[in-house]
Amino acid sequence: MTDDRSAPEQTGTVSDAVDGNWVDTIAPAFTRPYLRLSRADRPIGTWLLYMPCLWGLGLAMLATESASTHDLWTAVACGIGAFLMRGAGCTWNDITDRDIDSQVARTRSRPIPSGQVSVRGALIWMVVQMAIAFAILLTFYWAAIALGVIALVPVAIYPFAKRFTWWPQVFLGLAFNWGALLAWAAHTGSIGPVPIILYLAGIAWTLFYDTIYAHQDTEDDALIGVKSTARLFGDQSRKWLRLFLTITILLFGAAVVLACMDRSILSLVIALGGPWALGWHLTWQLSRFDPDDNDGLLRLFRSNRNAGLIVLPFFALAMFV
């Protein structure tokens, strides 16, 4: 493989985009820089934002022993909202990180540092995405609407976290798992211990997968002074990843038990299969973790879509027993 890092910038593509993605192949040319700004050519982030929504909705339906067409809309709306808010968050991230991105090999091909989109154009695009997401949010209960507005706080802070803490992945987790709270509130109209515990489990999951992801940039990050858990843990990363895995599964299991308190034992056992399957998948990832293999790190990171999805069939089956 040649190391022609100017090639992505010349073609407009982004270096870590999925090969043959729809943005680079079928999207109208004038939309591509903005869709790349929203990471539409790299859909894993949308999935990672969406999974906690589906987990929260699934546990809410198990806890209340109810399901309706409104829940179908909640699932669809959360999916659209995840796409839009991930896009808005990434746009904000790229605006604030434009000087840093220009110094990192993996990110210098992004739309702002490569000159495809101006800062003013990016700000307008961010507002458009947020406005559409807010219109969708207004179809939910007031508790969910309030949570949706509050979610903007960790989203706004995250891009700056790597400048002042070695744990920016915590702030990413606070932002990316908010859907667990929001989707629960969209079903029940309130918040309780179950979604809070699920939210904490999601944060531990984010620490797991984003530490893996951050290992791609440790050399560049060290040169420019950007902090991350990958740099903090160094050779001890495997031990920390195992800890995050364990916390994720224990908290997720606790949330499932609390949600299924009024259900049958069989329903509880089946629902617990969800965190068990997630734990199996994360263990598989850990067994293949190689901090020196950037391509492998990216594949492991992207596999967390399947890690999140693997939980859902267990929740669906538990609803019927």
> 116-145, pLDDT tens digit by residue?
899 999 999 999 999 999 999 999 999 999
Least Cα distance to 47 among 311, 314, 266, 269 occurs for: 311
Q: What is the pLDDT of residue 11?
A: 58
Burial status of residue 131 (CB atoms within 10 A of its CB: 0-12, 13-18, 19 or more): exposed
Helix (H, G, I), strand (E, B) or coil at 291: coil
Q: Supply the pLDDT for residue 18.
A: 77
Closest to 59 measured CA to CA, from 244, 203, 262: 262
- Shortest CA distance to 294 belongs to which of 162, 104, 143? 104
The DSSP output letter for 67 is: -
C-alpha–C-alpha distance, residues 231 and 251, integer Å: 26
Cα–Cα distance, 231 to 156 (Å, whole number):
23
Return the structure tokens found at 214: 């951050």
> Hey, where are the domains in the chain?
28-318
The vertex-124 CA angle with 122 and 130, nearest 5°, equals 100
Q: Cα(14)–Cα(106) distance, rounded to whole angstroms?
A: 8
Q: Residues 26-83: pLDDT tens digits?
A: 999 999 999 998 989 889 999 999 999 999 999 999 999 998 899 999 999 999 999 9
Longest dimension (CA), the chain: 60
Based on the number of CB atoms within 10 Å of its own CB, is 97 exposed (0-12), middle (13-18) or buried (19 or more)?
A: buried
Tell me the two tokens of residue 152: 């903007």
What residue type is assigned to position 32 of the chain? R
pLDDT value of residue 5: 37
| CA within 13 Å, CB half, 2 | 5
pLDDT given for residue 159 in this prediction = 86
The Cβ of residue 70 has, within 10 Å, a number of other Cβ atoms equal to 14
CA angle 277, 178, 267 (to 5 degrees): 35
CA atoms of 108 and 89, how far apart (whole Å):
18
Name the superfamily (CATH) of residues 28-318.
UbiA prenyltransferase (1.10.357.140)
Distances (CA, A) of 184 to 57, 78, 227: 5, 11, 33
Task: Identify the burial level of 295 via C-beta atoms within 10 angstroms of its C-beta, where 0-12 means exposed, 13-18 middle and 19 or more buried.
Answer: exposed
Q: HEC profile for 266-286? A: HHHHHHHHHHHHHHHHHHHHH
- Tens digit of pLDDT per residue, the chain (321 long)? 333 334 444 457 777 677 788 998 999 999 999 999 898 988 999 999 999 999 999 999 999 999 889 999 999 999 999 999 999 999 998 899 888 777 777 778 888 888 889 999 999 999 999 999 999 999 999 999 999 999 999 999 998 898 889 999 999 999 999 999 999 999 999 999 999 999 999 999 999 999 999 999 888 788 788 899 999 999 999 999 999 999 999 999 999 999 999 999 999 999 999 999 999 999 999 999 999 999 999 999 999 999 999 999 999 999 998
Using CA atoms in the order 96, 94, 128, 191, what is the torsion angle rounded to 10 degrees?
Answer: -80
Query: Could you give the CA distance from residue 11 to residue 7 in angstroms, rounded to a whole number?
Result: 6
Query: 258: exposed, middle or buried (C-beta count within 10 Å: 0-12, 13-18, 19+)?
Result: middle
**Amino acid 38: pLDDT:** 92
DSSP one-letter string for 111-169: TTTTTSS-HHHHHHHHHHHHHHHHHHHTTS-HHHHHHHHHTHHHHHHHHHHHHH-S-HH
